[in-house]
Structure 1
């Protein structure tokens, strides 16, 4: 029990930065914007550095502005071609301007101890799914989570359950995706996250011909 508690404490201390994936639009319901603000404030209060896509509009900007106003540290990563299109945030603690989307995602991953998706579009899902897939493959051992505002991700959660039911994903990998409605709850679960054995090394995964 002591060793387990020590491991939990070590993981909790290691959570110094979290990458936020979310929309560059605010969404139609004010609840999305309110949640983005609350998320930025909560992460700043917890002393967690926010890493995100570097824009100042939509939910992206709301998270960043709220964290900065609360005294938090916010690091943005944005491709040069999107600085004007996504209106790059010039008031961040640090802004990295890179050349490609691949560089953007690589740097965001390297700077982060975990990944949280708020509501957003295709880009938000693509970014989260890459990190979740890489976690399954053992490329990293960082937690991935959904902040399920207004049950926004219900169809996605149902699709993940369908993947398991149809034999395209084992339950352990589905459960890697941590789902909560409050960022504080996500952080608590992130702090004690233990990844399952990475894909293809599990003894219960049948070998493919």
Structure 2
């Protein structure tokens, strides 16, 4: 398939097993499809599971992380392809460069901030690739409700609903990318 996909996800190792399982399934599907992955570079949580699975299955994964995070040893130790930035802002810009799509898994404030920035950039025409939100275990239901409310209350346009796609299972992610309205 030859695509480069950025994956936003949690660094917390305390989350429910269902999120780790979904991350592993997605990683295996990406490797089988020949997808190269860009991610935040972390060695624990869903980031760690993503990298561990991709590496174990012989796939390619690239970490992008600010230097200060590497200095406190947050970087995944087995990921060979790494880019270190000076700031978080540079990191986020690099996440969206040279990719064919963006997938957001469950995560905390960093994951949500990155996703909302990508949606904003897409709204402004600065990012044009598909945005897929993997709604494992209904995690992103409140976000979907919030985005819908932004539309229904006219804070954003109805057409903006086409900027993102929610899917419930990892197996629907690749089709979501391929079928997305850019």
**What is the aligned partner in structure 1 of residue 67 from structure 2?**
80
Match of 1:188 among 146, 151, 175: 175
Query: Does the 8 Å contact 1:35/1:149 carry over to 2?
Result: yes
CA distance in 2, matches of 1:63, 1:111: 20
**Is 1:38 equivalent to 2:38 in the alignment?**
no
CA distance in 2, matches of 1:137, 1:16: 24
**What is the aligned partner in structure 1 of residue 44 from structure 2?**
57
Is the alpha carbon distance of 1:86 and 1:33 closer, same or farther for their aligned partners in structure 2, counting shifts above 3 Å?
Answer: farther
Query: Does the 8 Å contact 1:37/1:66 carry over to 2?
Result: yes
**Is 1:120 equivalent to 2:120 in the alignment?**
no
Which consecutive residues of structure 1, in runs of 5 or more, have no partner in the other structure?
A: 1-12, 196-209
User: In angstroms, what is the RMSD of aligned CA positions?
Assistant: 1.5
Runs of 4+ aligned structure 1 residues displaced above 2 Å come to: 192-195
**Is 1:136 equivalent to 2:136 in the alignment?**
no
Give the 5 Å matches for 1:101-120: 101-120=88-107
Aligned length: 182
Mean Cα displacement is larger for which, 19-28 or 142-151? 19-28
User: SS state of the match for residue 58, structure 2?
Assistant: coil
**What is the aligned partner in structure 2 of residue 170 from structure 1?**
157
CA distance in 2, matches of 1:46, 1:22: 20
Q: CA deviation at 1:140?
A: 2.1
Query: Does the 8 Å contact 1:53/1:78 carry over to 2?
Result: yes
CA distance in 1, matches of 2:92, 2:25: 24
User: SS state of the match for residue 175, structure 1?
Assistant: helix
CA distance in 2, matches of 1:104, 1:121: 17
User: SS state of the match for residue 106, structure 1?
Assistant: helix
Which consecutive residues of structure 2, in runs of 5 or more, have no partner in the other structure?
A: none
**What is the aligned partner in structure 1 of residue 54 from structure 2?**
67
Query: Does the 8 Å contact 1:27/1:33 carry over to 2?
Result: no
Q: CA deviation at 1:90?
A: 2.5
Query: Does the 8 Å contact 2:3/2:35 carry over to 1?
Result: yes
Query: Does the 8 Å contact 2:132/2:176 carry over to 1?
Result: no
TM-score by length of structure 1 reads: 0.82
Specify the structure having the higher radius of gyration (Cα): 1
TM-score by length of structure 2 reads: 0.94
Match of 1:48 among 35, 38, 41: 35
